Structure formats: structure tokens, C-alpha cells
């Protein structure tokens, strides 16, 4: 075992005691094998040609970590890919609810003439920023401030499609999922999009998330690995570079990205599917076959 790995085995339990951030704690509480799998997965990502454009960023980003609420805005390409996905999944007047929008997807959708988008977030500054971006546009999104951990909070829409990019720890993922499920409680043809990196979770935790969706009659109809990329900067970039060196997956000096997968779930009533094999801890060699992991056909009743 290399020196860095040996050192890490000593440091990991100390960091677990000391660090407060729940997503960092989630990573630290994974087994060494699971941590390596996540890092190996991240090392596979080959960014597309980067498009310059507006990304939400506060000047206080590094000083104000508690108020950031796990914010990690995606690349401009990712935002566009999500909008293209929604164009293929629904009509322009379908009701879309974005639970959390530091990715500025509501702005992207407004530019593409989606007429019934609601974005909800606990960050008032972010919502103000989106309203300024959308000011010249005809189809402005509804912007609703709120805290998803408040059970009483209601974003005020029964969406056809609800989209979450939850924080990468089990507790907060479940909180975001609760709000998403609450919003589509009465919709038996709802679609739920979840951007998440399954490698961030131990097998049981990940299974708990999938089981919960299944109990709520949601079936997986599509899974696209590494659909989302989030540019890393500062300390997070440094830590990832160090982690990649530790597992022997050295990187060039270029920018590093965190990535997450796209999972499309539909209420069972409208989707009949045959899941042939799906396991989150997919080997990277299977990546090209990932799109065919889930065979599905949608059958309208």
C-alpha cells in the first residue's frame, strides 16, 4: 500500500470526528474501497469543451460555507443538457418544479419559452439573481423562497415534473426527496428527475433511496452516468487532486469536476419497465453499456 493511502487510513477517522459538513462526513464514513470507487469514477470524467457563461457564484463562497447549503453550481453545458432533456420529456407548458436552483436552470428554461416553471430555494440572494437574469424575458419563472426541511413549506404547485439535485449525504437527500414526493403526492403521472452520484452512498443507503422511490410507485426509466459536471475550485479541487493521486489516478493540471448521474423516475401507473440489471457501484468498464442497463417502455394507459 502506498504511503499516502497508509497516511489516509490514520487521518480518515480523525477527520470524521472533526469535520462538520455532512457531505464530507458522508464521504469519510464510506469504506476505503467505496471511497476509492467514487474517486475512480470521478477520474473517468472527460469534460466536454467548456462553454463560457454565467454560473451562480457568491463573492463570499469560501468564507460563508454554512450559508452555501451545499451549493455547487454545474457547468453551462450541464445546464443546457438538462434543458434539452426537459424539452424531450415534456411540453413547454407542463408544470416543472425545481427544488434548489443554484444551477440557474429556471433561467435557461425561461429563455427556451417554458411557461410554467417554479424554482424554490432557501437562498434569497440566488432567487434575486435569477429574477434579475429573467427580467428581460417574457416567460419568467415563479421563484419561491423556502426551506425544504420545513414540513409545512409548500412551493405552491402540483408539478408534472419535479427535479432535485440534493446534497450528497443521506439525511439531506431524504429531506429533498420528501419535499419532491410531497409535491407530486396527488399526481399519478408525475416524473421525478434526480441528479445524484450513487457512489457517494454506501450500498444500503443507496438502496434505501431507491426503495423509498419504489414504495411511492416511482420506477426508474432512465439512468445516464456522469450526466452532470460541477467545476471544482479552491480547497475542493485540491482535495480531489490529492485523493486521485492517493489512488494512483493522477491528473493533468486541468480543471477538475465533480460529477453526478441523471436518474429519470416515472410513476408506475404510466410506465411499465423491466429493469435488467442496475447497480450503482457500476464498474467504469461498463460505462458505455450504461445506457442500456435499464430496458424500458412507456405505456400510456
Binding site for ligand SAM (CB under 6 A): 23, 69-72, 100-102, 121-123, 126, 147-149, 165-168
Residue number with CB closer to ligand SAM (24 or 40): 24
Q: How many Cα atoms within 13 Å fall on the side-chain side of residue 251?
A: 24
Residue number with CB closer to ligand SAM (61 or 70): 70
The radius of gyration of the chain's CA atoms, rounded to the nearest angstrom, is 19
Residue number with CB closer to ligand SAM (123 or 261): 123
Residue number with CB closer to ligand SAM (21 or 217): 21
Helix, strand, or coil here: 85?
Answer: helix
Least distance from ligand SAM to the Cβ atom of residue 120, Å: 7
Residue number with CB closer to ligand SAM (70 or 270): 70
Least distance from ligand SAM to the Cβ atom of residue 286, Å: 24
34 vs 14, 157, 255, CA distance in Å? 18, 38, 24
Q: DSSP secondary structure string, 37-64?
A: HHHHHHHT----PPPP------TTTTT-
123/127 Cα distance (integer angstroms): 7
Least distance from ligand SAM to the Cβ atom of residue 151, Å: 12
159/292 Cα distance (integer angstroms): 28
Using CB atoms within 10 Å of the CB of residue 244, give its burial: 0 to 12 exposed, 13 to 18 middle, 19+ buried. Answer: middle
Helix, strand, or coil here: 265?
Answer: strand
Least distance from ligand SAM to the Cβ atom of residue 180, Å: 12
Residue number with CB closer to ligand SAM (72 or 213): 72
Least distance from ligand SAM to the Cβ atom of residue 218, Å: 20
Pick the closest to residue 240 from 230, 91, 125 (CA basis): 230
Least distance from ligand SAM to the Cβ atom of residue 40, Å: 19
Amino acid at each position: 500500500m502506498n504511503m499516502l493511502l497508509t497516511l489516509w487510513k490514520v487521518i480518515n477517522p480523525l477527520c470524521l470526528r472533526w469535520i462538520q459538513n455532512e457531505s464530507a462526513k458522508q464521504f469519510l464514513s464510506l469504506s476505503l474501497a467505496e471511497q476509492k470507487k467514487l474517486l475512480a469514477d470521478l477520474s473517468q470524467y472527460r469534460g466536454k469543451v467548456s462553454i463560457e457563461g454565467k454560473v451562480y457564484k457568491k463573492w463570499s463562497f469560501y468564507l460563508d460555507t454554512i450559508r452555501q447549503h451545499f451549493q455547487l453550481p454545474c457547468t453551462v453545458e450541464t445546464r443546457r443538457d438538462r434543458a434539452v432533456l426537459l424539452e424531450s420529456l415534456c411540453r413547454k407548458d407542463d408544470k416543472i418544479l425545481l427544488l434548489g436552483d443554484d444551477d440557474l436552470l429556471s433561467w435557461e428554461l425561461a429563455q427556451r419559452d417554458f411557461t410554467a416553471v417554479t424554482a424554490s430555494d432557501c437562498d434569497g440572494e440566488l432567487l434575486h439573481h435569477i429574477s434579475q437574469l429573467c427580467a428581460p424575458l417574457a416567460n419568467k419563472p415563479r421563484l419561491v423562497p423556502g426551506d425544504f426541511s420545513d414540513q409545512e413549506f409548500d412551493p405552491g404547485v402540483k408539478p408534472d415534473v419535479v427535479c432535485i439535485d440534493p446534497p450528497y449525504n443521506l439525511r439531506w437527500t431524504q429531506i429533498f426527496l420528501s419535499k419532491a414526493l410531497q409535491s407530486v403526492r396527488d399526481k399519478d403521472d408525475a416524473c421525478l428527475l434526480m441528479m445524484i452520484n450513487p457512489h457517494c452512498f454506501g450500498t444500503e443507503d443507496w438502496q434505501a433511496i431507491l426503495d423509498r422511490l419504489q414504495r411511492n410507485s416511482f420506477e426508474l426509466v432512465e439512468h445516464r452516468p456522469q450526466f452532470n459536471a460541477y467545476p471544482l475550485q479552491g480547497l475542493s479541487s485540491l482535495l480531489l487532486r490529492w485523493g486521485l493521486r492517493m489512488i494512483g489516478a493522477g491528473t493533468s493540471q486541468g480543471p477538475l469536476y465533480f460529477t453526478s448521474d441523471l436518474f429519470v423516475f416515472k410513476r408506475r401507473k404510466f410506465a411499465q419497465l423491466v429493469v435488467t440489471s442496475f447497480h450503482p457501484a457500476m464498474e467504469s468498464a461498463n460505462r458505455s453499456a450504461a445506457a442500456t442497463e435499464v430496458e424500458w417502455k412507456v405505456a400510456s394507459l
